[in-house]
Amino acid sequence: MDRLANYTYIFILIFLFILEGRSDDHIRILIALFLSFIISMYAFLVNWITLDGAFAATVFGTVALGLGGWILAGLVLVFFVSSSLITRHKDQSGNKTSMGIFTEWTKERRNGLQIWANGFWIALFAVIWFLFRDETLLVMASAALAAATADTWATELGSRKKGHTILITNFRKVDPGTDGAISLKGTLAGFWGALLIAFAFFIFNRDTNMEIISIVAFSGFLGCIADSYLGAIYQHNNPDSNHWFNRYFHSHDSGNNAVNWAATGLGALFALFLIQLT
């Protein structure tokens, strides 16, 4: 699936570069390709992503900056750096240990499928924004990114130590790390992750207003909650789940990516709904 996303967006980039892009668009897309390649190779060398993840990140970064512009590219960079820094390592026994940047060459690296699970909708809205220049699409892309950030922060920081953790669907006490489990610590971490993207949106786009910032933050947080709810229903390490989705993706070890993909899309839809209400 990550290869399909790579080739699809490469085709879109080439098509828009030739038929739709102006001279300044051409320059930005080429700059985006160069910067995305450099950053992706650096991330690969410091063990943040796999080689196929570096390829996916290069394509995704080129779309985000080349088509979405500097605002969206800045938000993507904030997401990627913050998420990589808080993602824990694995020791030789496979147990997660310390935070990302402090232990070398043992990182649980992101692969191409994980990158597109979080970035598919962001790239799609960047493409549509490039064609129609509707600011709503940029807000939706930012909300999807806020949802991805919130989920990463909630997962990594919320499951770091044992505490009072409950399943979101029935409030039954479960072990930290159970799919669909929530805790006060993880929920607050998710909220701050979404707020980080909303604040970065303000920093990179000073023409925005507090209403839009609030929509990005709130939609991202709702996307994080939706991720937990979908995880509780569909993912394989929840003992209450016996859905066909669970049985299929358990054998393919990719249920979390599918849930992340759905939750980031929902974050964008929440933003669209809130914009229509205002």
> Is 266 in the same domain as 255?
yes
Examine the fold and report which residue of 87, 112, 133 is the final residue of a domain before the chain moves on: 133
> Is 28 in the same domain as 78?
yes
Examine the fold and report which residue of 111, 133, 155 is the final residue of a domain before the chain moves on: 133
How far from 74 is each of 20, 70, 85, CA to CA, in Å? 24, 6, 17
> Is 95 in the same domain as 199?
no
Indicate the number of domains in the chain.
2
d(CA 165, CA 35): 41
Alpha helices in 50-134 (DSSP H): 51-66, 69-86, 112-132
Single-letter amino acid code for the residue at 4: L
> Is 154 in the same domain as 204?
yes
> Is 89 in the same domain as 170?
no
> Is 175 in the same domain as 248?
yes
CB 261 within 8 A of CB 202: no
> Is 103 in the same domain as 153?
no
Write out the residue range of the structural domain in which residue 245 sits: 134-278
CA pseudo-torsion sign 260, 263, 269, 273: negative
Digitized pLDDT (tens) for each residue of the chain, 278 residues in all: 788 999 999 999 999 999 888 889 999 999 999 999 999 999 899 888 899 999 999 999 999 999 999 999 999 999 988 987 887 544 444 455 444 433 333 346 789 999 999 999 999 999 999 999 999 999 999 999 999 999 999 988 876 666 688 888 888 888 877 778 889 999 999 999 999 999 999 999 988 999 999 999 999 999 999 999 998 887 655 555 555 455 554 444 467 888 999 999 999 999 999 999 98
> Is 103 in the same domain as 213?
no
- Which residues, at least 6 apart from 239, have a Cβ–Cβ distance to it below 8 Å? none
> Is 37 in the same domain as 146?
no
> Is 127 in the same domain as 212?
no
> Is 91 in the same domain as 150?
no
